[in-house]
A = this chain, B = another copy of it.
Amino acid sequence: MPATAISPTRAEDYPEWYQQVVRAADLAEQSPVRGCMVIKPHGYAIWEQMHGILDRMFKATGHRNAYFPLFIPVSYLEQEAKHVEGFAKECAVVTHHRLELSPDGKLIPTGKLEEPLVVRPTSETIIGAMYAKWIQSWRDLPVLINQWANVVRWEMRPRVFLRTAEFLWQEGHTAHATREEAVEETLRMIDVYATFAERDLAMPVIKGPKPSGERFPGAVDTYSIEAMMQDGKALQAGTSHFLGQNFAKGQGIKFQNSAGVEEFCWTTSWGVSTRLIGAVIMIHSDDDGLVLPPRIAPQHVVLLPIARNDEERTQVLDACRMLERDLATQTFADAPVRALVDARDIRGGDKVWQHVKQGVPLRVEIGPRDLTAGTVSLSRRDRGPKERETVPLGEFAARVPAILAEIQQAVFDRARAFRDARTVHLDSAAAVIDYFSAAETDNSRAGFAWVHVADDPAVMEMLDPLKVTVRCIPMEGNDAPGTCIVTGKPVSGRSVLARAY
Contacts and interface: CB of A to CB of B under 8 A. Distances in A.
A100 B118 CA distance: 12
Interface in A96-116: 96-101, 105-107, 109, 111, 116
Interface string A40-62: 11011101100000000000000
Interface in A56-97: 64-74, 76-78, 84, 88-97
Given A32-B129, A168-B67, A99 B117 contact: no
A131 to B, nearest CB: 11
A32 B97 CA distance: 17
A166 B69 contact: yes
Contacts of A37: 69
A93 B88 contact: no
Contact of A74 (B48, B99, B119): B99
Interface size class of A (residues with CB under 8 A): 35 or more
Contacts of A259: none
A166 B70 contact: yes
A362 interface: no
A409 interface: no
Nearest to A129: B32
A39 interface: yes
A72 B99 CA distance: 13
A150 interface: yes
A36 interface: yes
A126 interface: yes
Given A69-B31, A107-B77, A166-B71, A130 B93 contact: no
A149 B48 CA distance: 14
Interface in A114-136: 116-119, 126, 129-130
B95 A93 contact: yes
Interface string A417-435: 0000000000000000000
A98 to B, nearest CB: 6
Contacts of A92: 71, 94, 96-97, 117
Nearest to A77: B107
Contacts of A109: 74, 93, 95, 116
A65 B93 contact: no
Interface string A132-150: 0000000000000100011
B98 A91 contact: yes
A64 B44 CA distance: 9
Contacts of A41: 64-66, 145
Interface of A: 31-33, 36-41, 43-45, 47-48, 64-74, 76-78, 84, 88-101, 105-107, 109, 111, 116-119, 126, 129-130, 145, 149-150, 152, 154, 166, 168
17 contacts: A31-B69, A32-B73, A32-B126, A38-B67, A39-B66, A41-B65, A43-B66, A44-B64, A48-B65, A70-B152, A70-B166, A71-B166, A78-B107, A84-B101, A89-B98, A92-B97, A93-B109
